[in-house]
Amino acid sequence: MTSAAPSDPNAAQIEHWNGPAGEIWVKFQARLDDQLAPLGRLAMDRAAIREGEAILDIGCGTGQTTLELVGRVGREGRVLGIDISGTMLGLARRRSAAAASPQASFEQGDAQTHCFASSSFDLAFSRFGVMFFSDPIAAFGNLRSALRKGGRLAFTCWRQPRDNPWVAVPMAAAFEHIPRPPAPEPDAPGEFAFADHDRVHSILSEAGFDNIHIEPVDEMVGRGSLDETVETTLQMGPVGVALREVPEKREVVGAALRRALAPFAGPDGVRMGAAVWIVRAENP
């Protein structure tokens, strides 16, 4: 496991994603990519990617987005995936090698502080990888410095949990049986740190971006079977985190999740609503 230096501003996130969280993500990689890929493509499609471009993939995780971006920039383009999780990057590199994608490369690092070559990318992209910075203004300022003049930013992030049945429904079911975790501090790093439209706009503006567009999009996500969806929920997200404190409640929580999720199961698996922001901006 990779340890963070105590002085690293995102030390807690580095420890988190190089520990069990990264291992669990690798375990469920195929299911997670199947669920999240359509939401990432929304931002890719709006980014107007052209062949031959250089793209920075922020929070690339196990590499699905990096490899898809490679397909969009073609043989003359290049994509650098950066992530704080060595565990997840290990799988990303194996997938890239298996796909014979020389245009893709990966670096382990914190995008808030990483020393990128100045003005070297046409696009900075992320699928749910930018909500974890301790100082998002500094982080996006650092990312902007890596963009060429006129370079673009495009990312997908979650809106409020209450607007996302995929998380709200299982949380409501599970927390009838186990303690609800304390509410995070306002603006604390986390999955829903960018749920507020005005906060996202302010961060990007203060980081020096202009032509900022924040578009709400609602989609259906899922496709895993009921058994798979219950198993994944028991180990990941807010329910998985809370359940680690009371593992003896796993069976009763699993039964509650099954009852709550069953109405969403159909021929294509468990399908539930997802509410996201598609964010675009430019480096002036």
- The whole-angstrom separation of Cα 194 and Cα 128 is 10
State the pairing for strand pair 54-58/78-83: parallel
Is 50 exceeded by the pLDDT of residue 69? yes
The per-residue pLDDT for 1 is 43
Angle between helices 226-235 and 29-46 (to 10 degrees): 90
Show Cβ contacts of residue 209 under 8 Å, excluding neighbours closer than 6 positions: 140, 144, 153, 281, 282, 283, 284
Task: Tell me: pLDDT of 5 over 80.
Answer: no
Residue among 127, 238, 236 at smallest CA distance from 178: 238
pLDDT of residue 183: 82
Instruction: Quote the mean pLDDT of the chain.
Output: 94
Contact 277, 229 (CB under 8 A): no
Task: Please say if the pLDDT value at position 275 is more than 70.
Answer: yes
- CA–CA dist 196, 210 (Å, integer): 18
Q: Name which of 157, 66, 192, 58 is nearest 112 in CA terms.
A: 58
Using 50, 70 and 90 to split pLDDT, how confident is the model at 181?
A: confident
Query: Does residue 174 carry a pLDDT above 80?
Result: yes
Average pLDDT over residues 106-127: 97
Write the CB contacts of 195 (distance below 8 Å, at least 6 apart in sequence): 157, 158, 159, 160, 161
pLDDT in tens, 70-96: 999 999 999 999 999 999 999 999 999
Domain at 11-160+185-222+274-282: CATH code: 3.40.50.150
Could you tell me the two tokens for 127?
A: 């699928």
pLDDT at residue 39 above 80? yes
Query: Residues 55-66: pLDDT tens digits?
Result: 999 999 999 999
The model's pLDDT over 94-104, given as tens digits with 9 standing for 90+, comes to: 999 999 999 99
Q: What is the mean pLDDT of residues 253-282?
A: 97
| Confidence tier at 4 by pLDDT (50, 70, 90) | low
Please report which confidence band the pLDDT of residue 7 belongs to, taking 50, 70 and 90 as the band edges.
low
Q: Where are the domains of the chain?
A: 11-160+185-222+274-282
